[in-house]
Amino acid sequence: MIEIIDLKKHFGPKHILRGVNLKIEEGKTLAVIGGSGTGKSTLIKCIIRLLEPDGGKILFNNKDITHIKKQMELAKLRRSFGYLFQEGALFDSLSVGENVVFGLKYLTDTPKSEYARIAKEKLALVGLKGIEHLRPSELSGGMKKRVSLARVLATEPKVILYDEPTSGLDPIMSEIINELIIDLKNKLGVTSVVITHDMKSAFEISDNMAMLYEGKV
């Protein structure tokens, strides 16, 4: 479904990705592991084109998406993806509930009357209840992470890129999130790329594993 060929990315003189080759099959989960600062986040940002690669190719459903420039086409591409940010990246100016349903307005035709129900349902999935009216600044780091995951789930994307979904969570919560990822795969056929530091959960959830080291897999 996603094919990455000889992907290169550098920031100034720092060469982060030096020719990554990866294949992600439909309905499968790929775990990406690797030391801190090896470019894991950079890699999945290239996939969803938040960053433009400097070399190589990314194919999505056999279509070359490496250098799409048109804003409309990029927006369309991103419709298929969900991206869980490492730090959550919740919108400070909106409440938790508004954060969760934010994407619905732009990515789906869900009627507004459904929003409250969806927010509740998705927050329950990540083990949070009755916090819709709070502001992101009132949450703990782990709670932010889970709200952010709820926001990704709300739009029901076909491919989800998780940037360390379980870091900063207690073991029980991590287990719940891992099961959620497996559930999404089994029930909805979601394709996932999961960045993780936790080897145990990497083995648990993934069909394939890739280790990033010195800019290569």
Partner 1 sequence: MFKALGRLLIKFFTQLGQASSMVSSCVFWLFKSPLEFSQTMQQTTKIGVESLVVATLTSLFTGMVLALQAGTTMRNILSEPLYIGTLVGFSLVRELGPVLTAFVVAGRAGAAVTAEIGTMQVTEQIDALHTLGTDPIRYLVIPRIIAFMIAIPVLTLCANFSGMFGGFLVSVNSLGVASNVYISDITTYIGVDDLMHGFIKSCFFAFMIGVVCCYKGLWTRGGAEGVGKSTTQAVVTSMVLILVMDYFLTAILNSIGL
Q: Which residues contribute to the site for partner 1 (CB under 8 A)?
A: 45, 48, 50, 71-72, 74-75, 78-79, 81-83, 85-87, 89-93, 102-103, 106-107, 151, 155
Nearer to partner 1, 5 or 102 (CB): 102
Number of residues forming the site for ligand ATP (CB under 6 A): 11
Distance CA 142, CA 118 (A): 21
Distance CA 51, CA 182 (A): 28
Of ligand ATP, Mg ion, partner 1, none, which one does residue 85 interact with (CB within 5 to 8 Å by kind)?
Answer: partner 1
φ, ψ for residue 92 (rounded to 5)? Answer: -60, -35
Binding of ligand ATP at residue 213 (CB under 6 A)?
no
Distance CA 214, CA 217 (A): 8
Binding of ligand ATP at residue 196 (CB under 6 A)?
no
Q: How many CB atoms lie within 10 A of CB 1?
A: 16
Residue 47 vs residues 32, 53, 202: alpha-carbon distances, Å = 13, 9, 20
Binder to ligand ATP among 25, 37, 75, 105 (CB under 6 A)?
37
Of Mg ion, partner 1, ligand ATP, none, which one does residue 36 interact with (CB within 5 to 8 Å by kind)?
Answer: ligand ATP
- State the amino acid at position 44 in one-letter form: I
Binding site for ligand ATP (CB under 6 A): 11, 14, 16, 36-42, 86
